[in-house]
Amino acid sequence: MKVYGTPKAAKLVGVHYLTLHRWIGEKKIKPNGITLADGRTLYQWTEKDIETAKKIKAETKLGRPPKGTSKRA
């Protein structure tokens, strides 16, 4: 099974790697992670995880909301 790091997975999905980290924090997606001794987590993205992320991207409005608004319509 082929796995990818977050930067490569982000490229394959077509989003910034920080977007993937935000989706993990929002519990929209859960790739396998390895926790290092210093507390950092390295995520391993499978083809299935990448396909899931592509679906999330298709369902999500990307980008910042316009100035002067607190939420998107």
At 28 the pLDDT is 94
For residue 13, the enclosing domain spans 3-57
Q: How far apart are CA 25 and CA 67, in angstroms?
A: 24
Q: Does residue 68 register a pLDDT over 90?
A: no
| Count of structural domains within the chain | 1
pLDDT for position 72: 53
- Asked whether residue 32 is domain-assigned, the answer is yes
Report d(CA 14, CA 8) in Å as an integer. 10
Per-residue pLDDT tens over the stretch 12-50: 999 999 999 999 999 999 999 888 889 999 999 999 999
Chain position carrying tokens 């592509």: 54
Residue 71 maps to a domain: no
pLDDT for 71 = 60
* Residue 29 confidence (pLDDT): 95
Q: Is residue 73 part of a domain?
A: no
CATH number at residue 45: 1.10.1660.10
Domain for residue 70, yes or no?
A: no
